[in-house]
Amino acid sequence: MIETLYNKRIRALADAAHGAGRLAAPTGSALRDSPMCGDRVRMDVEIVDGRIAAIAHEVKGCLLCRASASLIGLHAVGCTQGEVEMLRARMAAMLAGADESEEPDEFGFFAPVHPYRSRHGCVMIPFEALAIALATGVRQLIA
């Protein structure tokens, strides 16, 4: 199980830590904790013209959680709230075993997690933090 879940592609994505750090003045920020495994994710976003202009994250968690946050750092800049929801839905589909993308990319790295439902939350918590940070940021821009 360990080698399947923590394969070299997942390890490389986690080690790359795309977007790791904090933003000096984020438009939105959110902290999510997992009571099940102890993963903790803080996601910061800067929103300009309805799109993510900058993103940063701090992760204290397992390799799957760190790799997932890195994936977000790699793909979320330039996205709208709706496009981020599509990324979240794509990851959820991958974990459910229903993603049949024709073009393999980093989302496919997480396919081995599918049979381990107890680990799905580790992968999804960065997406949850991002959704909350975006919603907070959009509310601040409207206010």
- Residue 58 domain-assigned (yes or no): yes
Question: What is the distance in angstroms between the CA of the first residue and the CA of the last residue of the chain?
Answer: 48
- Residue 38 domain-assigned (yes or no): yes
On the question of pLDDT at 96 being above 70, the answer is yes
Cβ neighbours around 74 below 10 Å, total: 15
On the question of pLDDT at 99 being above 80, the answer is no
Can you tell me which residue has the tokens 């993103």? 55
CATH of the domain at 48: 3.90.1010.10
CA 71-101-104 angle, 5° bins:
55
CA 117-131-53 angle, 5° bins:
130
- Residue 9 domain-assigned (yes or no): yes
Query: Confidence band (pLDDT; 50, 70, 90) for 83?
Result: very high
20-68: pLDDT as tens digits: 999 999 999 999 998 878 899 999 999 999 999 999 999 999 999 999 9
pTM for the structure as a whole:
0.91
Please answer whether residues 28 and 45 qualify as being in contact, where contact means their C-beta atoms are separated by less than 8 angstroms.
yes
What pLDDT shows up at residue 38?
87
Give the DSSP letter string of 23-60: -SS-SEEEEEE-TTT--EEEEEEEEETTEEEEEEEEEE
Report the number of distinct structural domains present in the chain. 1
Average pLDDT over residues 96-114: 78
- Residue 143 domain-assigned (yes or no): no
- Residue 26 domain-assigned (yes or no): yes
Helical H runs in the chain?
2-5, 8-16, 63-75, 81-96, 120-142
Query: Confidence band (pLDDT; 50, 70, 90) for 122?
Result: very high
- Residue 115 domain-assigned (yes or no): yes
Q: What distance in Å separates the CA atoms of residue 140 and residue 107, rounded to the nearest whole number?
A: 31
Range of the domain at 56: 2-138
